[in-house]
Amino acid sequence: MTQGIHTVINLQESGEHASCGNPLEKSGFTYDPDIFMESPIYYYNFKWKDYGFANTNFILDIVKVISFALTQGKIAIHCHA
């Protein structure tokens, strides 16, 4: 199931997928993040508005998490754009 992935990084905003695709879970996404954490797979959500800009500190926070996550194994990053 994990394909060797140890970390999932989600860049979606909760609820942004509501107008297309499958119905949303209670989490506001098309899946329940608890499924990953029970696997155990680290899960991070950095909500980033579609086609938006992010400030330097926000990007650095993501880079720090990615840097750590890569020491643990493979990562998957996704958004909705």
Query: Among 25, 7, 28, 24, which residue's Cα sits nearest to residue 75?
Result: 7
Q: Give the residue numbers marked as catalytic.
A: 79
Contacts of 48 (CB under 8 A, 6+ apart): 11, 12, 13, 54, 58, 79
